[in-house]
Structure 1
Amino acid sequence: MRFLIFIATVVIFATSAQAQDNLSGRFLFRVVEQSEVYADTLSALIKGRGDIPNWVRNMVSRGGYVAMGSSRETVDGKPMERFMACQAGHCPDSQLHVLFSADGKHAVMRVVDKDKGEVFLGDPSDAEKAALIAPDD
């Protein structure tokens, strides 16, 4: 009986660690391509926004951007995944950071563009803003 409890405990911890490991090292274009939840959340975030660059508005339906591997962040005690992307050929001039909740149903974004300025999408909390502004590792 103790052995079964031990095995169950190991499986639970391994599953939990694996789920948390899935919140880093991923690429935004791949996550959006493979997850309808993430794609829908991102689409809702950017839909109809005239104050962001075209490449951002079109990022769900088209490529044309460079994506860096995601990082796991803890924001207000909750695990989140932080992605960075930039316009191909113009990374210093037009980039974004987006934070997704672990389930992909909540996202906030910061877009920084040479021509359009800085824009926050999704009404981020102060803690989410801090995570969006934090420098990349």
Structure 2
Amino acid sequence: MNSDNDPYEMRVGVPSVATFRRLRTASGMSDRPAAAVAAGLPNTWFGVTVEYGGAPVGMGRIIGDGGVIYQIVDVCVLPEHQGRGLGKRIMARLTAELEQRAEKGAYVSLIADGEAHRLYAQYGFVGTAPASVGMHRLV
């Protein structure tokens, strides 16, 4: 899905455990234990990785039950590649897959860190407050 002038290539699938952890931490996201990542990645409903010169520079995944609940997770782009529309391309591909394969009426959620809510709003995501509030807990 890239033109001759476009140095970025989007690949469907999930990255390796090492690539996943590197992309997250280098993008300013928290690290996850390797064993947990190895157990979780195969449960991805749909994922993409963006490559530059054959090296992964961004990613995004959808997890969920395959029926009524989905969550967009791990959307990140390395800082040196930000500002080039890669986050938009990742979100466009993820939402296109949801539109194509998810059942009508499926609930899709995500957590927007910082100003990322501006990106996600472009793809139809709206805040849930005050009707509901996102919450989390670490084990």
TM-score, reference length from structure 2:
0.38
Name the structure where strand makes up a greater proportion of residues. Answer: 1
TM-score, reference length from structure 1:
0.39
Name the structure where helix makes up a greater proportion of residues. Answer: 1
* Rg larger in structure: 1
